[in-house]
Amino acid sequence: MLHVFRGGSSSGDDVAKRLPPTTSGATVNDGEANFDSNDETDDRQYEFSGRHLLGSYSACNPVAIRDLAGLTAAFRAAVRASGATLLHAVEHTFPPRGMTAVAVLSESHASIHTYPEHNSCFVDIFTCGDICSVEAFDETLREFLRPKMHSCRIIRRHENMSDELPSGVEAAA
């Protein structure tokens, strides 16, 4: 659940005038239309737990990692595949072909940071609760980028953090 702070009695136009302009190459997808005024009266209790996937992809397909429009579409498709709800997304291009994208999700966040000069990137997604599939996010991005090497870590976050083992891997004795 996302709660939007509406400080003071300023109108949205007043707030917009005080914000710095976006950086060249950055696009902002404003999810203000997704604001639910009923959030203020929502008394549901949510579990203090979530899953955080951290991934490193190396030796990616050189065409795919430089295809900024395709990569943006794949990133958003990966968020959808996870089952998460996209609230806002920002993409920034680092000329000539680098990109960082960050998604604010109802469940938390996701990001990708590319290094096309190395045909590599870092990805992450954190989702609160157990409903979303961080594995589906990872699989969708790997289908697009086709890394020859990838490493992934999933951390169960709660009062105490712990690593999850990928399926098919047994804990060392």
Cα-based angle 128, 90, 47 (whole degrees, multiple of 5): 10
In a domain, 92, yes or no: yes
User: pLDDT value at position 36?
Assistant: 52
More confident residue, 28 or 50: 50
* 89 pLDDT above the threshold of 50: yes
In a domain, 39, yes or no: no
How many domains does the chain contain in total?
1
* 171 pLDDT above the threshold of 60: no
R_g over Cα of the chain: 18
In a domain, 40, yes or no: no
Give the domain extent around 115.
48-164
Catalytic residues: 108, 113, 128
Chain centroid to CA 50: how far?
14
**Dihedral sign from CA coordinates of 146, 147, 149, 155:** negative
Q: Which of 32-36, 53-57, 61-65, 121-125 is the least confident region?
A: 32-36
In a domain, 90, yes or no: yes
Q: How many residues does the chain have?
A: 173
User: pLDDT value at position 63?
Assistant: 98
pLDDT band per the 50, 70, 90 thresholds, residue 3 = very low
CATH label of the domain that carries residue 68: 3.60.90.10
In a domain, 37, yes or no: no
* 1 pLDDT above the threshold of 50: no
* 38 pLDDT above the threshold of 70: no
User: pLDDT value at position 65?
Assistant: 98
In a domain, 10, yes or no: no
